[in-house]
Structure 1
Amino acid sequence: MKQSIANIAILVPDYDEAIAYYRDILGFSLSEDTDLGAGKRWVRVTPPKGETSLLLARASNEEQHAAIGQQAGGRVFLFLHSDDFWRDYHAYQARGVNFAEAPREEAYATVVVFTDLYGNRWDLLQPACPKRSV
């Protein structure tokens, strides 16, 4: 059996503002934008060559608005893998992405934490090459 996560819902205050951020700042593609009526839309944005999309869910009540940017309780919420960390880091810097720290080398990856437009914490990381057994 094969299973995969297709979408991860992320609360946003406005569809169009969120589309612009994830598309123009992070370089994601708008994979789907379907009008569901009554002001609701099914909006998905996807990283370049990614398989999992963010489903942009417009907050519709006070509880949901309060959770925008805090869906992981202040911890890193999403992990964006890159095939070229420094290319993406410098591109994001040039586009004004808010980094919470300086890039660092860990045993598992080159990594940096950034926050998106809403305060969600992300790891941008390039996994370390797996060690080869001899």
Structure 2
Amino acid sequence: MPHLAHVALVVRDYEEALAFYVGKLGFELVEDSCQPEQDKRWVTIRPPGASGDAATILLARAATAEQQLVVGDQAGGRVFLFLATDDFDRDFTAYTAAGVEWARPPAVQPYGKVAVFLDLYGNRWDLIEFAPGHPGAA
């Protein structure tokens, strides 16, 4: 059965992206392998606690001027990725302490508790704890 395996996130530099996602957000480094014939690396990460069969984020280094233009704006200023949590307050506090920048403060919505943060490039992410009974709830 088809399933989502990876989502590509265009980054400026592998090491600075790993420092943010693994260092600040606590994501797990799944794979980091060199592909010398293409002068790139295959770098995948996933949120802490995600199951082994969950889709990963592929950190794709921008290799052209056109790709450089979308670093930090892959969704045209909209929220690009949605990071679900089982404890919003825990993660909001940890991310704030790690220096994560918040574009929108926490709010309680019918679908759950949510805030918007910016990654190191300016992509917008939702940190969300879905309300009980919501299809996204754990």
- The reply to whether TM is greater than 0.5 is yes
Match 1:116 to one of 110, 119, 134: 119
Alpha-carbon RMSD = 1.1
Partner of 2:97: 94
- Superposition TM-score, scaled by structure 1 size: 0.93
Write out aligned runs for 1:22-33 (5 A).
22-33=21-32
Distance in 2 (CA, whole Å) between partners of 1:29 and 1:114 is: 19
Code of the residue aligned with 1:41 in structure 2: it is R
Task: Give 1:39 shift.
Answer: 2.8
Partner of 2:20: 21
**Greater than 2 Å deviation, 4+ residue runs:** none
Write out aligned runs for 1:5-84 (5 A).
5-37=4-36, 38-50=38-50, 51-84=54-87
Distance in 1 (CA, whole Å) between partners of 2:86 and 2:2 is: 24
Q: Secondary structure at the match of 2:120?
A: coil
Unaligned runs of 5+ in 2: none
Task: Give 1:104 shift.
Answer: 0.2
Matched residues, number: 130
Task: Give 1:90 shift.
Answer: 0.1
Alpha carbons of structure 1 residues 4 and 49: separation in structure 2 relative to 1, 3 Å: farther
Partner of 1:3: 2
Distance in 2 (CA, whole Å) between partners of 1:21 and 1:102 is: 20
Q: Secondary structure at the match of 1:96?
A: coil
Distance in 2 (CA, whole Å) between partners of 1:86 and 1:67 is: 31
Task: Give 1:6 shift.
Answer: 1.4
Q: Secondary structure at the match of 1:93?
A: helix
